[in-house]
Structure 1
Amino acid sequence: MSIPSLLPETTLRLRQSEIIGALSHALDLTEGLPAGHAQRCCWIGMHIGQELNLNDHDRADLYYALLLKDAGCSSNAARIFNVYGCDDRILKRDFKLIDTHKIDDMAKFAWSHVAPGESWLKRLPMLASLITKGSEIGEDLFLTRCEQGAEIAEQLGFSAQVCDAVRGLDEHWDGRGNPRQLKGEQIPLFARIALLAQVIEIFFAEGGSALAMQTVRARAGTWFDPTLVHHLEKLAQNDEFWAGLQDPDIAARLVTIEPADYVRTVDDEELDRLAGAFAAVIDAKSPYTFGHSSRVCQYAQRIGGEVGLSEKQLFWLRRAALLHDIGKLGVSNSILDKPGKLTDEEFAQIKLHPVHSMDILSKVGIFDSLAPVASGHHERLDGCGYPWGLKGDQIDFATRIISVADVFDAVSAERPYRGAMPVAQALSILDDLSGPALDGDLVAALKRTL
């Protein structure tokens, strides 16, 4: 098995910020943004904090608030699909490019994003709902996202200052933000910095520093605290500030600006907490996958215990099981929640989620051996699985355990195209898959634990 039997001493000194920074790439996927968005926002926001002469304690809180600003991003994805009938990732990306204070921009946005490509018979009721209930719907979407994000930050043990920053990300200086319409200094300072950093990063990616600064200047006093914009004007004169946003190794730059006296290092307990928190983000993406990661984890641990894995191996199996579907954050809810049969193109998108999982988990040094274990759960023993077509002994023993646990939960839980399946029927399907797809000995081990 490639599950580590112990944690090497060097990894015990790994920074928590490096792990969260790497895993934040999953949040970027969910928001429809280029990988590294949250890390680049951290670069921007920390420079603003330095201009404000924040002390090291506050700068440490700001650092994590910026990395975790989108922690609740998956929680409103299903609702967005239900309301707009479009790819939630595209909608989220495009929404960040408009000025929500301009009625014309909002109307054009709704017109172009409601059930694109569908008939007028389907589009008109959805447009009418947005016209009559748009404010209420928007407030609910923001509230869900902000509260879920704050809960994740709290689950990870961060301060109220970090949680409040995540909760207040979408508030605007003039009181026309969401979800609570806070105004001016009612908005937590770190939330004000995070929103400014977010807009700078997005518009820099769209059109460079000139467009980024033009956008910020136009929204000073409405979206943004004018004092923060003043400090940003000074930063904008520094070429090195902008160079950081173009550095493909932005993670290395972030290491240099994290307050040294407040660096958090990981241990087994912290790794479990991180895995559990990101599993909650994964499972919040769709009502049909709610609780899936934690249930797969439970079934995998039962199987692992039944076949004699050591306690340390079970620790790592648990983490792999919790994070096995992290790549699904990059799949649209228009596919995940589709009640009918998927098209070939849609299924191709589904088949990419293990690739996303591999890419995200591989960015975390401590998860080097865990990444292929977690991301191979759709491979089959006969070589007909995806995405790599691995066969027989090419599939890690721990991956086989997760595969059995994943299939059992998938067939026994409710899905958009059918109701929940009785346990006996689910186990019968696992029996049929034993040999060509699943390891029969591990299926038998699962049965003994139920």
Structure 2
Amino acid sequence: MSGSIRLAEVLGALSRALDMTEGQPPGHCMRCCWIGVQVGRAMGMDEAALRDLYYALLLKDLGCSSNAARICELYLADDLTFKRDFKHLDGSLPQVLRFVLSHTGAEAGLAERFRSVVNIMRNGGEIVTNLIETRCQRGAEIARQMRFSENVAQAILDLDEQWNGGGKPVGKVGTDISLFSRIALLAQVVDVFFMSGGPRAAMTEITSRSGTWFDPAVVFAFSDVAADEAFWAMLGRDDIEQVVLDLEPGQEVQRADEGYLDDIAQAFARVIDAKSPFTSGHSERVAVFSDLIAEEMGYTRARRRWLKRAALLHDIGKLGVSNSVLDKPGKLDDDEWVSMRDHARLSEDILSRIGAFADLAVVAGAHHERLDGKGYPNGKTADELDLDTRIISTADVFDALTAERPYRAAMPVSKAMGILWEGAGASHDPLCIEALERALARSEQAVA
């Protein structure tokens, strides 16, 4: 690939996937970025600091998928709704208790719900600390993998710390907390309450938490910014995404070299696969199986590299699916099945927003289509499915069959191949199945 890409364009589109995982309205991270950069400017930050702040705000939720399954397990709840509503808490005991009782095990049996609530009441502090620690540490690791500065990584690590020491996971106090984190936490609360109750609700929350959750100096800077009605008008605009892209400090343009795009795809594959213990490593394995098939079918090395990115990102839409659906041990009901099927459409929508990844979007959106037109989401038929899509579709199903799932154990390779061949010509391209079979046989011979 030649040419250049805007780093902000890539991160802005990927941040929409993070918004879904946090149960937030589309554009949450973008709006937080707008809020936080205005505060940073009011505090007199130079361009270098503003640039790191800008990326930290877009990436603040990088680790958010890593605790989704645990939330479902502990609270017997839909993680997307749980996370959305959790952001409205101020930390007071009565509010927390009401939240736990109203959000724990709403769809579970009374006995299961009772045991879950008792566990949370006894061990709530430790549970929340572990959930936040997992999220923050994973997010910081992924930020480093995406080549961002240690300042950006530290901002993600400290996101849930509070000025008075009452935050998580470490309980840092005052200026020991990254300044970027102090700004990001305020920006997050502003957006959550602005979206649910408007400017007055947002200002009330920020003012009431000054000196406890928030650095008073950050609140002071925000109050100065918020006094301008144009600030709130901009925050509510439909084109806020373009506004934030134009806001990028220095208008930095990153060269779209192959290694950089590979790093981004691999980093986000970690975010995707962290969503469920049953999909851990799935994207990486689909990339490996796709590459084995492509090699057998004579793909060039450059095209195989492109296909690997498509395989790594094909399931990015699953970040918008609740773990109560992804990890359900039994058969999905009609509504759950609609939610599961929607992940392919979400994958295409997210990737189509990135110029450098737009050609991957069609493949990601069609990886559950079938040759006979009985797939989803659009019921495409054989003449509408290119070879790239057929390869990833075959690799995806093969990995699903040979990996542990909540509803069954992993299958032996021979049984999985048998199932693929049973659907040859209807579900999957027999040429792709044959290529996978040859590649696996060659791999076994090489090891023997």
Could you tell me the TM-score, scaled by structure 2's length? Answer: 0.96
Q: Among residues 50, 65, 74, which one is paired with 2:65 in the alignment?
A: 74
Quick one: distance in 1 between partners of 2:382 and 2:254? 41
Query: Is the contact made by 1:146 and 1:166 (CA closer than 8 Å) also made in structure 2?
Result: yes
Partner of 1:329: 319
Partner of 1:251: 241
Partner of 2:209: 219
Quick one: distance in 1 between partners of 2:136 and 2:336? 30
Query: Is the contact made by 1:76 and 1:144 (CA closer than 8 Å) also made in structure 2?
Result: yes
Answer with 257-266 or 61-70: which moved more: 257-266
Answer with 304-313 or 20-29: which moved more: 304-313
Are 2:196 and 1:206 aligned?
A: yes
Q: CA deviation at 1:376?
A: 0.5
Partner of 1:3: none
1:342-381, CA deviations, whole angstroms, 9 ceiling, x for partnerless residues?
1122111100000111111111122222101111010000
Partner of 1:302: 292
Are 2:260 and 1:270 aligned?
A: yes
Partner of 2:163: 173
Q: Among residues 19, 30, 38, which one is paired with 1:28 in the alignment?
A: 19
Are 2:74 and 1:83 aligned?
A: yes
Quick one: distance in 2 between partners of 1:103 and 1:80? 20
Are 2:347 and 1:361 aligned?
A: no
Q: Among residues 139, 146, 152, which one is paired with 1:149 in the alignment?
A: 139
5+ unaligned residues in a row in structure 2: which ranges? Answer: 441-448
Are 2:419 and 1:429 aligned?
A: yes
Answer with 337-346 or 248-257: which moved more: 248-257
Query: Is the contact made by 2:5 and 2:253 (CA closer than 8 Å) also made in structure 1?
Result: no
Query: Is the contact made by 2:4 and 2:253 (CA closer than 8 Å) also made in structure 1?
Result: no
Q: CA deviation at 1:417?
A: 1.1
Are 2:338 and 1:338 aligned?
A: no
Which ranges of 4 or more aligned residues in structure 1 deviate by more than 4 Å? none
Q: CA deviation at 1:250?
A: 1.9
1:114-161, CA deviations, whole angstroms, 9 ceiling, x for partnerless residues?
110333211100000001110010100000000000001011111111
5+ unaligned residues in a row in structure 1: which ranges? Answer: 1-6
Which residue identity does 1:119 align to in structure 2?
A: G
Q: CA deviation at 1:280?
A: 0.4
Structure 2 CA distance for partners of 1:138 and 1:292, relative to 1, 3 Å:
same
Answer with 335-344 or 402-411: which moved more: 335-344
> How do residues 180-191 of structure 1 correspond to structure 2 at under 5 angstroms?
180-191=170-181
Q: CA deviation at 1:340?
A: 1.2
Partner of 1:116: 106
Could you tell me the TM-score, scaled by structure 1's length? Answer: 0.96
Are 2:4 and 1:13 aligned?
A: yes
Q: CA deviation at 1:265?
A: 3.7
1:187-224, CA deviations, whole angstroms, 9 ceiling, x for partnerless residues?
11000000001011111101111111111001111110
Quick one: distance in 2 between partners of 1:77 and 1:46? 29
Query: Is the contact made by 2:60 and 2:156 (CA closer than 8 Å) also made in structure 1?
Result: yes
Partner of 2:90: 99
Paired residue secondary structure (1:352): helix
Q: Among residues 383, 387, 393, which one is paired with 2:383 in the alignment?
A: 393
Q: CA deviation at 1:261?
A: 6.8
Quick one: distance in 1 between partners of 2:393 and 2:63? 27
1:313-357, CA deviations, whole angstroms, 9 ceiling, x for partnerless residues?
212111110000000000000011111111122111100000111
Query: Is the contact made by 1:175 and 1:181 (CA closer than 8 Å) also made in structure 2?
Result: yes
1:371-418, CA deviations, whole angstroms, 9 ceiling, x for partnerless residues?
011110100000000110001111121000000000000000000111
**Sequence identity, in percent?**
50
Which residue identity does 2:58 align to in structure 1?
A: L
Partner of 1:60: 51
Query: Is the contact made by 2:57 and 2:184 (CA closer than 8 Å) also made in structure 1?
Result: yes
Query: Is the contact made by 2:6 and 2:252 (CA closer than 8 Å) also made in structure 1?
Result: no
Q: CA deviation at 1:263?
A: 4.4
Which residue identity does 1:60 align to in structure 2?
A: R
Quick one: distance in 1 between partners of 2:328 and 2:385? 30
Partner of 1:51: 42
Q: CA deviation at 1:247?
A: 2.1
Quick one: distance in 2 between partners of 1:396 and 1:227? 56
Quick one: distance in 1 between partners of 2:313 and 2:142? 15
Query: Is the contact made by 2:77 and 2:107 (CA closer than 8 Å) also made in structure 1?
Result: no
Q: CA deviation at 1:421?
A: 1.1
Which residue identity does 2:342 align to in structure 1?
A: L
Q: CA deviation at 1:439?
A: 0.1
| Cα RMSD, aligned residues only | 1.1
Q: CA deviation at 1:42?
A: 0.6
Q: CA deviation at 1:311?
A: 2.1
Quick one: distance in 2 between partners of 1:60 and 1:70? 17
Are 2:110 and 1:125 aligned?
A: no
Which residue identity does 2:88 align to in structure 1?
A: L
Quick one: distance in 2 between partners of 1:288 and 1:185? 40
Are 2:186 and 1:196 aligned?
A: yes
Q: CA deviation at 1:248?
A: 2.1
Partner of 1:4: none
Partner of 1:159: 149
Are 2:366 and 1:402 aligned?
A: no
Partner of 2:305: 315
Which residue identity does 2:264 align to in structure 1?
A: L
Query: Is the contact made by 1:56 and 1:262 (CA closer than 8 Å) also made in structure 2?
Result: no
Are 2:364 and 1:381 aligned?
A: no
Query: Is the contact made by 1:18 and 1:251 (CA closer than 8 Å) also made in structure 2?
Result: no
Quick one: distance in 2 between partners of 1:146 and 1:209? 29
Q: CA deviation at 1:262?
A: 4.8
Answer with 361-370 or 136-145: which moved more: 361-370
Query: Is the contact made by 1:63 and 1:258 (CA closer than 8 Å) also made in structure 2?
Result: yes
Query: Is the contact made by 2:286 and 2:312 (CA closer than 8 Å) also made in structure 1?
Result: yes
